[in-house]
Structure 1
Amino acid sequence: MFDPTDLYELAADAPELPDPVLLYHFDGFVDAGGAGRLALSHLLAELEHRVVATFDVDRLLDYRSRRPIMTFDTDRWVEYESPELAVHVATDSTGTQFLVMSGPEPDREWDLFAKAVAELVKRLRVSKLVTLHGIPMAVPHTRPLGLTMHASKPELINAQTSAFGRVQVPGSVAGLLELRLGAQGHDAVGYAIHVPHYLSQAEYPTAAVTALEAVTRSTGLVFPMDSLRDAARRTTTEIEEQIHASSELSTAINGLEQQYDAFAAGAERENLIAEATPMPTGDELAAQFERFLAERDDDH
């Protein structure tokens, strides 16, 4: 029987926190617009933080499926970017400390990893776990982004309605943690941000803003948001410029707006899940935005 505590190393000076919230996101699962990744990256860039626990990535990752970056200089290897899956303690804008767990999604030993996280949650006295990610939906960027909440207990999401019924989907470690730790009595909540499907492969800071605002409502944590909101405004301006330059894109976005408004008014019963919604101008929309995203990558 493997010991789950062998999967991580806890810092000798790990703090004793008063029932902290643990925010988490793993790279590798669906994250349209980079919603979860951008949100947690923003927090670690803006807030004071330090590592309190690291996981054994040699045991958890398949390097051949996600090869780490190495740097070759002229005639020798000079650098290796070792992946890190870690828990950080951070301090929000009001001085409240909380935890952030991020890094690549484990490829192996999911159940043992879930047990390891459960041990850490117990050791660090976590009061609530919150995960964030984006999902592609047939919605326009000109309307407020929606979100789907899920949780280990119905009362944690106030009986919010969902666009989904009972479905089977490819699994994720984030989902498994909610399932396993919820079964142990821990409070676990997830936010799936509804990202316009034509922007799902781009970095869409508006989705990260929506995600962090949801976290604030759920936990009371307060974050510095100015730089993220500025990035969201710049991205929206670039998108609008691209749309105004193309009649095909303008027509497609108008169609999405009409569909969204009709759905919001209750005139249509189908959901807005991107994969299940036929769009008459979808080919034009995808082709135009592929060029748009390529141009953005070249500019950055």
Structure 2
Amino acid sequence: MSRVNWRRYKPLGRPTAVVAYRGWGDAGEASSRAVDHVLSIHPSVLLEEIDAEEYFDFQVLRPEIRFAQGGSVSLTWPSTKIYLTTPPGESPLLVITGDEPHARWKTYVRQIMDLCRAAGVEKVLTMGAFMGQVAHTLPVPMVGRATHPDQLHRHGLFGSNYQGPTGIVGVLHQAFTQEGWNALTLWAAVPHYLSTQEYPPASLALVEKASQILGIDLQPSPLEMEVSEFRDKLEAVIAESEDLAGYIKHLEEELSQGDDLQPEDLEDARDQMISEIEEFLRRPEN
């Protein structure tokens, strides 16, 4: 495991860590794109890139070839990157993001914890997104998990009672909690029929809630514009198909009654909807 450069992190002034990963637990790329937005709106400096060799299977997640200006070729490897971003007049944020590792999670978590300790982190916000039986026409449902459960009520969040397999976000949240830090994890629900592509409404919901929790203006306007364009395209798909419109209406009715939907109840319609939406959004004009 690579050593932490303590001198690099010591002067950071107790930043709040903001954490999200691509991969499992990032339905619709909602949480990873939310963090990308945070990095894009304020000056950000790359502090560290964790060596991918120790944690990734490159036959599962392969490096990508990129062409640069002038025709030169570069490789982009799976990685975890640690950034410092400083909103004007606010405390700094230590942003940890990248691809979910494949192996040696316990060692990986210890390394992330060491980095956070070196920076003086005492407060952490982690984010994820899951595929749910929800409708795109309704507000994005959100749940949370917190070191101090009263935080959930304060921020208008329901607690999560999920039990089962977890991703690196869940493992890190547990480690942060055991360290005694003030840790809160946000989870946004993405409609199951839209989870195979980017889902901007969930990214926007995460950014808005993160802004409230952190007390920092995270400038959601660019995402709001993206959501508006996304909804226009999606409504065009639904307008072309009575079956899709009927599926959405049925889903809304079931959700309004508080019934638990089982995926197999509408499996054929769901699969058709996914196929038609993906085909529409791949058209050159979209």
Report the TM-score, using the length of structure 1 for normalisation: 0.85
Counterpart CA distance in 1 for 2:108 and 2:183 is 16
Structure 2 counterpart of 1:184:
179
Counterpart CA distance in 1 for 2:275 and 2:3 is 41
Amino acid at match of 2:108: F
Query: Does structure 1 retain, via aligned residues, the 8 Å contact 2:65–2:75?
Result: yes
SS state of the match for residue 12, structure 2?
coil
Tell me the CA shift for residue 95 of structure 1: 4.3
Tell me the CA shift for residue 209 of structure 1: 0.5
Counterpart CA distance in 2 for 1:204 and 1:55 is 28
Amino acid at match of 1:167: Q
Structure 1 counterpart of 2:273:
288
Aligned pair 1:90/2:85, yes or no?
A: yes
Aligned pair 1:200/2:185, yes or no?
A: no
SS state of the match for residue 191, structure 1?
strand
Pick the aligned partner of 1:110 from 105, 119, 124. Answer: 105
What does 1:1-300 correspond to in 2, within 5 Å? 6-7=1-2, 9-10=4-5, 13-14=8-9, 16-70=11-65, 78-92=73-87, 94-158=89-153, 160-162=157-159, 165=161, 167-169=163-165, 171-263=166-258, 268=259, 270=260, 276-280=262-266, 282-299=267-284
Query: Does structure 1 retain, via aligned residues, the 8 Å contact 2:61–2:78?
Result: no
Question: Sequence identity, in percent?
Answer: 21
Amino acid at match of 1:295: F
Tell me the CA shift for residue 42 of structure 1: 1.6
CA-to-aligned-CA distance 1:120-152 (integer Å, 9 cap, x gap): 111111121111121111111111111110123
Structure 2 counterpart of 1:3:
none
SS state of the match for residue 126, structure 1?
coil
Query: Does structure 2 retain, via aligned residues, the 8 Å contact 1:22–1:98?
Result: yes
Tell me the CA shift for residue 11 of structure 1: 7.9
Structure 1 range deviating more: 44-53 or 209-218: 44-53
Tell me the CA shift for residue 224 of structure 1: 1.8
Counterpart CA distance in 2 for 1:181 and 1:238 is 40
Query: Does structure 2 retain, via aligned residues, the 8 Å contact 1:8–1:56?
Result: no
Tell me the CA shift for residue 82 of structure 1: 2.9
Query: Does structure 1 retain, via aligned residues, the 8 Å contact 2:173–2:183?
Result: yes
CA distance 1:131–1:72, shift in 2 (3 Å): closer
SS state of the match for residue 158, structure 1?
helix
Counterpart CA distance in 1 for 2:182 and 2:3 is 22
Structure 1 range deviating more: 110-119 or 229-238: 110-119
Tell me the CA shift for residue 155 of structure 1: 2.9
CA distance 1:184–1:12, shift in 2 (3 Å): closer
SS state of the match for residue 80, structure 1?
strand
Tell me the CA shift for residue 294 of structure 1: 2.9
Q: How many equivalent pairs are there?
A: 281
Tell me the CA shift for residue 295 of structure 1: 3.0
Query: Does structure 2 retain, via aligned residues, the 8 Å contact 1:35–1:208?
Result: yes
Query: Does structure 2 retain, via aligned residues, the 8 Å contact 1:10–1:53?
Result: no
RMSD: 2.5
Tell me the CA shift for residue 90 of structure 1: 0.7
CA-to-aligned-CA distance 1:20-73 (integer Å, 9 cap, x gap): 211111222131111111101122223210012221211111111111013599
Tell me the CA shift for residue 180 of structure 1: 1.7
Query: Does structure 1 retain, via aligned residues, the 8 Å contact 2:16–2:125?
Result: yes
Counterpart CA distance in 1 for 2:107 and 2:60 is 21
CA distance 1:233–1:105, shift in 2 (3 Å): same
SS state of the match for residue 7, structure 1?
coil
CA-to-aligned-CA distance 1:230-252 (integer Å, 9 cap, x gap): 00110011111111111001111
Query: Does structure 2 retain, via aligned residues, the 8 Å contact 1:94–1:222?
Result: no
For structure 2, which runs of at least 5 residues remain unmatched after alignment? none
CA distance 1:240–1:107, shift in 2 (3 Å): same
Tell me the CA shift for residue 8 of structure 1: 5.1
